[in-house]
Amino acid sequence: MASLDARPAVGGVAPGLGSVPFILALIVAAAAIFGAGKLIGNSYAFFAGYVVVQYIVLGTAWNILGGYTGYVNFGVTAFFAIGAYSTVVLYKLVPALPLPLMIVVGGVMAGLVGLGTGYLTLRLRGVYFSIATLALAVVVQTLITNWDFVGGARGAYVLRPRNSPILGGEYMQYLFMVMLGLAVVVLATARAIERSTLGYGFAAIRDDEAAAEASGVPTLKLKLIATTLSGGFMGMAGAPLPYYVTYLDPSSGFSLNYAVNAIAMPLIGGTGSWLGPVVGAILVGGLQEYIRVTISSAINVLVVGVLMVGFVIAAPQGIVGLFQRKR
């Protein structure tokens, strides 16, 4: 499995850009995308773009645990919704708090839940962790549904400010910009992990956990780091959601679509490197948006499920893997 992945050999020089130029390139790309959006000047472009970038963040966050260590987190909605609902709580308590701070709080909350779940289940076989995360999504939804302060089953309204606090324009543009910034942070982190000893540790766990443990890799510690980071980033991706939808209720915040998309996109794009989730999110997110507008929104989620099953059966290395094999 490792031989097919886009992973530099241990001790070898990693190909491509160094970390600082890579981050600069990401920032330039993000700025260019934002500038292009401004030029189009259509608010639909920002609404649609936000969803795709949100899935880049969500998919990359899932991939840090799923793709790098091989542990499958099905509870994406739990972490995502913890981020979203911590924003709802903060909105009710301190409405003046700037959005980036809310994102940090949401990320910390989700990261802590990830750490706790991981601590209780990661000492066992990987499937138990996956099952626990599936159940976690149900239990967090139960808690939120029973919590009147955040609206309970009725849901909560969040007023979206009219104007962006910086650079002018509508608030939606600000949300898009914040999400782009988050994508830069997450992608830079993911790529830095791939090239660090942390990444080699993760890969060792994925390929043969027993051998890794025997060679002195602190597997539990590394798995907990991955779970916390991954959960935290998912929470961050969810934190701006209340401002995007303006009305959040448990059944939409915990929609299975988020989990399926976040898992399908890295699997379709390729789980070996940071590029896979990006490719997957852009292709699948774009396709979904296209189908949603032209055919129907029920079909578009079905397409993602079918694509995911098709890819795991026929192209286990994803789109990125297909291109690497041909090279």
Partner 1 sequence: MDVSLDLLINAIVSGLLLGGFYAAVSIGVAISFGMLDIVNIAHPAFILLGSYVAYIGNTYFGIDPILAAVILLPAFYALGMAVYQVYHVAFERRDDQSLRGLSFFFGLLFISEVSLVLAFGVDYRSVQAPYIGPSLDLLVIQLPWRLLVPFLVAMAMVVGLQIFLSRSFIGRAIQAVAQDQLALRLMAASPVRIKRIAFGLSFATAALAGAVLIIIQPVEPSIGREYIGRIFAICVLGGLGSFGGMVIAAMTLGIVENLTSTFFGPSWAPAVSFGVLLITLAVRPSGILGR
3-state secondary structure of 156: strand
The one segment of 48-56, 81-89, 272-280, 302-310 that binds partner 1 by CB under 8 A: 302-310
Chosen residue from 264, 278, 284, 320 binding partner 1 by CB under 8 A: 264
For residue 197, what are its two tokens? 């000893």
3-state secondary structure of 170: strand
**Sign of the torsion formed by the C-alpha atoms of 177, 183, 184 and 185:** positive
Chosen residue from 226, 263, 265, 281 binding partner 1 by CB under 8 A: 263
Q: C-alpha dihedral over 72, 78, 81, 85, to 10 degrees?
A: -140
For residues 263 and 126, give the distance between their C-alpha atoms in angstroms, rounded to a whole number: 16
Residues 230-259 that bind partner 1 (CB under 8 A): 256
If binding is defined by CB under 8 A, does position 305 make contact with partner 1? Answer: yes
For the bound state, the minimum distance from the C-beta of residue 221 to partner 1, rounded and expressed in Å, comes to 18
If binding is defined by CB under 8 A, does position 210 make contact with partner 1? Answer: no
Residues 98-157 that bind partner 1 (CB under 8 A): 120-121, 124, 126-128, 130-132, 134-139, 141-143, 145-146, 153
For the bound state, the minimum distance from the C-beta of residue 196 to partner 1, rounded and expressed in Å, comes to 22
If binding is defined by CB under 8 A, does position 298 make contact with partner 1? Answer: yes
Question: Could you please report the per-residue DSSP string of 42-106?
Answer: -HHHHHHHHHHHHHHHHHHHHHHHHHHH------HHHHHHHHHHHHHHHHHH-TTS-HHHHHHHH
For the bound state, the minimum distance from the C-beta of residue 47 to partner 1, rounded and expressed in Å, comes to 23
If binding is defined by CB under 8 A, does position 322 make contact with partner 1? Answer: no
Instruction: Give 68: exposed, middle or buried? Use CB within 10 Å, 0-12, 13-18, 19+.
Output: buried
Residues 64-83 that bind partner 1 (CB under 8 A): 66-67, 70-72, 74
For the bound state, the minimum distance from the C-beta of residue 237 to partner 1, rounded and expressed in Å, comes to 19
If binding is defined by CB under 8 A, does position 271 make contact with partner 1? Answer: yes
For residue 223, give the nearest of 117, 140, 82 by alpha carbon: 117
The percent helix, strand, coil of the chain (3-state, each to 5) is: 75, 0, 20
Chosen residue from 35, 95, 218, 316 binding partner 1 by CB under 8 A: 316
Q: Quick one: 113 or 178, whose CB is closer to partner 1?
A: 113
For residue 72, what are its two tokens? 């499958």
For the bound state, the minimum distance from the C-beta of residue 316 to partner 1, rounded and expressed in Å, comes to 6
For residues 52 and 118, give the distance between their C-alpha atoms in angstroms, rounded to a whole number: 28
For the bound state, the minimum distance from the C-beta of residue 51 to partner 1, rounded and expressed in Å, comes to 18
3-state secondary structure of 247: strand
For the bound state, the minimum distance from the C-beta of residue 146 to partner 1, rounded and expressed in Å, comes to 5
Q: Which positions touch partner 1 (CB under 8 A)?
A: 1, 66-67, 70-72, 74, 120-121, 124, 126-128, 130-132, 134-139, 141-143, 145-146, 153, 256, 260, 263-264, 267, 271, 298-299, 301-302, 304-306, 308-309, 312-313, 316
